[in-house]
Chains A and B, each alone.
Chain A
Amino acid sequence: MVVVERKELSFWERIYFPAILKGLKITVSKMFAPRFTRQYPEEPLPTTEVTRGQPRLAVNEDDTIRCVSCGLCEAACPAYAITIDGQETDRFIEREPERFDIDMLRCILCGFCEEACPKDAIYMSNELELADFSREALVYDIEKLKRPVSALQDRIDYVKRINDRWQTSSST
């Protein structure tokens, strides 16, 4: 059993005023403290190579797309966000996508496409902002998805590092 001792309040405690003044002093002092709010559009959140933003297609320095339209990302995508049609090309890789759509409204940014890709062609970028006035405009086609390798380099290095670690630990 717990006996709660109720303390008798002193006169000054009972008339509230000292406590009220103390409270008012605290709130007014907080008014000039630094603020936590991030002013979002002007002050975006910092991103790192670990940030899993929207998937983007890597484009080599010579302007050729890395994707060979194998369809593995399409199959791996749990949200059925990717649609690919392939076509032939004269380049060594022989195939490239004719159409590569990602429905950004379906994409859950899981990164499975990045993991599935055998040609290091699709990467999770650090682009996070997604807004438009219609659903159709948010189905990104190949032109909207293309990014030069240099823009994705941090992520590419990061993924390689992670994959390498996994490989060495399994081989030993």
Chain B
Amino acid sequence: MTWFWITLGITAACYGAVIGTAALMTLAERKVSAAMQYRYGPNRVGPFGLLQPLADGLKFIFKEEVVPAGANPFIFKLAPALTALPAMLAIAVIPFTGVIATYEGTEILGSIANPDIGILYVLAVTGIGVYGAILGGWASNSKYSLLGGLRASAQMVSYELSLILSVLAVVAMSGTLNLHEIVAQQSGWLGWNIFTQPLAFLLFLICSYAETNRHPFDFAECEPELVGGFHTEYSSMKFAMFFIGEYTAMVVMACLTTTLFLGGYLVPFWPDAPWFVGLAAFGAKTAFFLVLFIWVRWTLPRFRYDQLMHLGWKVLFPLALLNVFLTGLFVSLGSGGN
């Protein structure tokens, strides 16, 4: 029974933290973009506008829900949930910090679950995320939405491949799929995977932007061509759900980048730091990637669609393959030498 409460506590803390961060990201997005354009951004609701996400949420709840004529109502309503759910599922295995305490001889880890196939699980559930966009686009009975959904699926197929290949290189290096162990492997001087696998890091970063439908790869919702893409026809809380899903996915991707390449909760030069320092380190590293998401969005123009496909298949994919090949070569040579 005690384990039940411990797990429940950790689950509540993790979900609260990630979804709270996602909500704050919507504010940060507006604040940072405003600062980059010589504006102030929202600063009226609460101190520094901190309660703006709450106000937005309330507003969304009170908006009218419109289901367009000719839409498939069941799938139309299912799609937003399908977008938000996978991102939230992925939170379950992210190692936020190391061992918190020991209870009855078992270590309490800073993640909800610690399956041996952690990274595989994350890739599997985030892969489902695109179904929300495709189904939403199709069920809306609108050509813009449909095009947005199609683009989302095409983009996902082309970029998920490189993403997984770049993760594969990391996995080959660490020899494990367990996220806690991948983090533990990165301890030591220059042990972070960003130093040993710089190419994989770069590929992963680029692909994670495409995965989360962020600039400069936000073709699924490209405003000038597709009005709003797959969520053109959505309103009220269902529209907000897409946003929650998108921002949660961003937070999860930032967490994942931190875990895989920046040593997760490891603190440089302090190998046995207590768990809350590790948590803070994890938060700081993740925050950097979150800010990078926003920073890149408000800096770069959107790609052209053919450039996107060109980049995905002719540049990133071969590079990722090469990286996997080289890593495999080194690993097998290394173990062969032992």
CA separation between A2 and B161, bound complex, in Å? 43
Q: Tell me which of B253-261, B263-271, B282-290, B291-299 binds A.
A: B291-299
**A-chain residues with CB within 8 Å of residue B300 when the two chains form the complex:** 20, 23
| In the complex, chain B residues whose CB is within 8 Å of the CB of A39 | 40
Q: Does A24 make an interface contact (CB < 8 A)?
A: yes
Question: Does chain A have a CB within 8 A of B32?
Answer: yes
Q: Is A37's beta carbon under 8 Å from chain B?
A: yes
Assuming the contacts A20-B300, A23-B300, asked whether A34 and B38 have C-beta atoms less than 8 A apart, the reply is yes
Interface residue? B61 (CB, 8 A): no
A129 vs chain B, min Cβ distance (A): 17
Other CB < 8 Å A-B pairs besides A23-B299, A30-B38, A31-B32, 14 of them? Answer: A20-B300, A23-B300, A24-B296, A26-B299, A28-B295, A30-B36, A30-B37, A33-B38, A35-B35, A35-B39, A36-B38, A36-B39, A37-B38, A37-B39
Interface residues of B in 24-40 (CB under 8 A from A): 32, 35-40
Q: Write the chain A residue with the least CB distance to B35.
A: A31
Nearest B residue (CB) for A21: B299
Which residues of chain B have C-beta atoms less than 8 A from A37's C-beta? 38-40
**A27 within 8 Å of B (CB atoms):** yes
Most buried by A among B35, B36, B295, B299: B299
Q: Which of A1-59 contact B (CB under 8 A)?
A: 20, 23-24, 26-28, 30-37, 39
28 of the cross-chain contacts (CB-CB < 8 Å) are A20-B296, A20-B299, A20-B300, A23-B299, A23-B300, A24-B295, A24-B296, A27-B36, A27-B295, A27-B298, A27-B299, A28-B36, A28-B295, A30-B35, A30-B36, A30-B37, A30-B38, A31-B35, A31-B36, A32-B35, A33-B38, A34-B38, A35-B38, A35-B39, A36-B38, A36-B39, A37-B39, A39-B40
